């Protein structure tokens, strides 16, 4: 019961962390779209709250993530207070940006230590090199440090937050199961056939449709047909073009719905099999521990009592 309550509380904190991050990202978009920097302190304050919730959701069981979220929380809280008190000072902007880039470097370092996959290692090493390069530019440039700091906090921060929100959204997807599903369901082959059909139909529509001046327009139109989005910016006007559009639309609906249902069913089955295997392994481990304990009790009961020496 205690483990279930702990799991539910961690999941609750994780949901709260996601909500706070999304709110923070909406404020960060103001920096990217309108160059409105008055929300910068609010963005870092919300980030500090989100990382504190992440700290509660992880707990001390995962030491690397715990330390990472703790450093995030303290650093972003300091940056938020500095920006709230001395927002117009170029020196404060430089200090805040330096702290932010140093925290990003630390985050990449902890990810390198934690993750053992080569792809993740390469991505984190490249990110660490980029963060270090930006930090070096700001520290070494005397005349443009405040401009570079404003650029990093105004343009780099929203994209980094978008990456974090996306990563958190996909955190609960079992990619190992998803790869097995794609291999078993032949979804990759079906999608390849669909892509070949889109490319060929795009070329045909480009040749016969007067409104599709470039091949890119025809490809964009076929993508809108297959995904049933229907933007309406480009349309087929010839009879042959409309016939091809209908055929492509019907084929796209069938393939997309088929792949979706197959992947969901296979994913559910494989996830259930994995959970059953894990439960069976836990039961076997519990049986072995109980047998070892029972054997130890029998040996202790069978051994003669020691006679105390006078």
- Do residues 223 and 202 touch, judged by C-beta distance below 8 A? no
Helix-, strand-, coil-residue percentages of the chain, each rounded to 5: 85, 0, 15
Is the domain defined by 177-300 classed in CATH 1.10.287.70? Answer: yes
Digit-by-digit pLDDT tens for the chain (310 residues) are 444 454 456 777 777 888 888 888 888 877 777 666 667 888 888 888 888 888 887 766 667 778 888 888 899 899 888 888 766 677 788 888 888 888 888 888 887 777 656 667 787 888 888 888 888 888 877 666 667 777 777 778 778 788 877 777 776 666 666 677 677 767 777 778 888 888 888 889 888 888 888 888 888 988 888 887 777 778 888 898 889 888 888 888 888 787 777 777 777 777 777 777 777 877 887 888 777 777 777 777 766 554 444 4
Q: Measured between alpha carbons, how far is 212 from 235 in angstroms, rounded to an integer?
A: 8
Residues 111, 114, 117, 121: what is their CA dihedral angle, to the nearest 10 degrees?
30
DSSP string, 126-149: HHHHHHHHHHHHHHH-SSSHHHHH
Q: Measured between alpha carbons, how far is 105 from 72 in angstroms, rounded to an integer?
A: 11
pTM score above 0.85: no
Q: Measured between alpha carbons, how far is 14 from 20 in angstroms, rounded to an integer?
A: 10
Q: Taken in order 289, 292, 297, 298, is the CA torsion positive or negative? A: positive
């Amino acid at each position: 019961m205690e483990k279930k309550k702990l799991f539910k509380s961690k999941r609750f904190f994780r949901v709260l962390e996601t909500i706070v991050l999304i709110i923070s990202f909406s404020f960060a978009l103001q920096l990217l779209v309108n160059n409105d920097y008055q929300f910068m302190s609010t963005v870092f304050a919300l980030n500090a709250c989100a990382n504190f919730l992440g700290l509660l959701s992880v707990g001390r069981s995962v030491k690397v993530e715990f330390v990472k979220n703790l450093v995030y929380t303290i650093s972003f809280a300091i940056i938020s207070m500095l920006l709230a008190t001395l927002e117009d000072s170029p020196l404060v902007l430089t200090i805040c940006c330096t702290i932010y880039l140093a925290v990003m470097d630390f985050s990449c370092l902890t990810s390198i230590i934690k993750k053992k996959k080569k792809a993740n290692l390469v991505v984190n090493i490249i990110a660490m090199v980029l963060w270090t390069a930006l930090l070096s530019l700001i520290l070494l440039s005397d005349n443009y440090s405040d401009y570079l700091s404003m650029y990093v906090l105004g343009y780099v921060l929203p994209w980094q937050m978008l990456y974090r929100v996306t990563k958190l959204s996909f955190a609960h997807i079992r990619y190992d199961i998803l790869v097995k599903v794609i291999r078993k369901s032949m979804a990759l082959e079906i999608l390849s056939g669909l892509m070949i059909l889109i490319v060929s139909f795009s070329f045909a529509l480009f040749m016969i449709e007067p409104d599709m001046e470039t091949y890119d327009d025809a490809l964009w139109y076929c993508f809108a047909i297959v995904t049933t989005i229907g933007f309406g910016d480009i349309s087929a006007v010839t009879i042959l073009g409309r016939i091809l559009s209908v055929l492509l639309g019907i084929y796209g609906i069938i393939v997309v719905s088929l792949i979706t249902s197959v992947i969901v069913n296979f994913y559910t089955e494989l996830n259930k099999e994995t959970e059953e295997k894990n439960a069976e392994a836990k039961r076997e481990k519990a049986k072995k521990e109980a047998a070892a304990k029972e054997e130890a009790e029998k040996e202790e009961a069978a051994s003669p009592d020691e006679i105390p020496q006078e």
